[in-house]
Amino acid sequence: MEPIQRKIRASQAEILCIVTVYGVPLNIWDPQPIQAEISKLKQELKGIKEGMFQGDAVVLEKKVAGLEIQVKETAKRAASVDSELTLAGRDHPLEGFVESPFLTESGWPQGCYWAARLDASTPEDVRRMIEGALEAESKGLRGTAYFDARGLTGDGAYARADKGILAAAALAREAGLPAVLDNREELFGVGKCPEAALYWGWYSLAKYVDSFRFVPGAVAVHIASGECNSLREGEYWCRNLIRNGACVTMGPTNEPYLEAFPAADEFLRKLFAGESIGGAYYATEKWLSWRMVLLGDPLYRPFGAQADENNKHQEKRE
């Protein structure tokens, strides 16, 4: 991070966005190598017969205990590379998250940047992300909006997130999009979401369901932990949403806590008003120097043309 900070601080250009690409790591901290070593040692322990080689068993147990402590201690600094880049122009604590200066400070906060990622399983997927956004901007994003709530009630964080999805469905209808709302615990079934322009739902941890046939420029978000842990392999939602045609998504590299996701209705209200993907995200994302990743062109305005036209009509009436 320090070389990047030096480069940015030395630059005379006005930097607003930082876009990461293929080859830039996702994670500041990756527990998998340590966890793999722990698993290997535990297998060796299983192979030690009772009453034999007890000295070796004690050594292995101490190694496992030490590695487990290491995982817990280093996990405190776990973050996505992209989220750390948002604060690359200012000093900040690396442990834990930082309340977003985009929400707490007036104007554009000094030393802060939008960070987004154009990255996917293949170069072809990335090209489709870019070309789909361009097509939707020129023709307008048209299709069906799908919302997968869980029917939760109460006042807790989970219920509030669920109510945000219900409110987002209402906003989509107000914006003129056909909206399909599933308010049951079950997810949309395979192939049940054709012509998908928008999707927001939850909760299937690292088990992507191939429900969608996306239109060019589609925006799709699935709330679950670690769904941007890899863009190369696995059934993570971020990887597979992009792979199957979405142009924009977001997700965490590690456990982010539910509040790390922008509320569905707050984010989409910004989009329907004509904001760009980056503008909507950084106006609703609470925490930086944390674990979330925004995938897609940050300057893409899915509903920009429609919002501009509505504003023109409003100005004429006034």
Average pLDDT of 19-34?
Answer: 82
The predicted-structure confidence for 29-81, as pLDDT tens digits, reads as follows 666 677 677 788 788 777 765 555 566 777 878 887 887 776 666 666 689 99
More confident call, 61 vs 123: 123
**What's the CATH class of domain 120-310?**
alpha beta
Measure the CA–CA gap between 104 and 286, rounded to whole angstroms: 9
**pTM of the complete model:** 0.86
pLDDT of residue 67: 73
Residues of the chain with CATH 3.40.50.1460: 120-310
